[in-house]
Amino acid sequence: MSDEPQIKYVRKRLYVTEKAPALSVDSDGYVRCGIKGDMSDSDMLVLGLVLSLKNKEWKDALLERVRSKFVGATSTTSKITRTFELIKDD
């Protein structure tokens, strides 16, 4: 047996999809995305978000801004209700 470390699990940052692009963030902050090969505007938006999340200052400022919207929301129900209020179409 070799003394070299063995790779047991590799996470993928990019997936090529056939449908809508998507963004996923693991609990440790690891970001992955799925984009279509044609690079439509929606794909570019997802890619732009991935690039923005690589900027620590931008990410920290965004998290603080979002956290401020949840002040007083202490239960799961109140947090989900607040989320719906924030993303609803006006």
- Number of helices (H) and strands (E) in the chain: give both, helices first: 3, 3
Kindly state the percentage of the chain with pLDDT values over 70: 91
Q: What is the pLDDT of residue 90?
A: 66
**pTM for the full predicted model:** 0.75
Cα–Cα distance for residue pair 22/42, rounded to 1 Å: 9
Q: What is the pLDDT of residue 56?
A: 94
Q: How many residues does the chain have?
A: 90
Determine the Cα angle at 86 with ends 81 and 90, to 5°. 115
